[in-house]
Amino acid sequence: MAHVVTDKCQRCKFTDCVEVCPVACFYELDQQLVIHPEDCIDCTACVEVCPVEAIYAEASVPQEYQANIEFNAAEARRVKDGGQDAIVTKKDPLPTAEQRKAQLGY
């Protein structure tokens, strides 16, 4: 069972998670990250380092983020199949990240 990046990551794109991932399953979109469901080994390392708690085990995704399961999988496949490499090095978050983090209550 893979992990899922929910839209809590939207406008944040903190990348602390990519550095702890042992299998390079994170892919980058313009406004957020996604996890490739076939590459994720369900190690949970990424969950605790996300500053906005945007990552959940697929079976534990809260009801309000259920649509993110398919979005995450489809976008990760699209980006990887398009030839983009996984993101494995931490980058600066988006300029809107701190505002979004506060908006989410973190």
- CATH number, position 52: 3.30.70.20
Residue 103 lies in a domain: no
Residue 87 belongs to domain spanning: 3-91
- Taking only the tens place, the pLDDT of each residue in 47-98 is 999 999 999 999 999 999 999 999 999 999 999 999 999 999 999 999 999 9
Residue 85 lies in a domain: yes
How far apart are the C-alpha atoms of 46 and 20, rounded to whole Å?
A: 6
Over its C-alpha atoms, the chain yields an Rg (Å, rounded) of 12
Predicted TM-score (pTM) of the model is 0.95
How far apart are the C-alpha atoms of 69 and 34, rounded to whole Å?
A: 10
pLDDT mean over 95-103: 96
Q: What per-residue string of b and e applies to 22-61 under the rule 16 or more CB within 10 Å gives b?
A: eeebbbbbeebbbbbbebbeeeebbbeebbbebbbebeeb
How many domains, in total, are found in the chain?
1
The predicted structure's pLDDT at residue 61: 97
Tokens 């399953």 locate to: 25
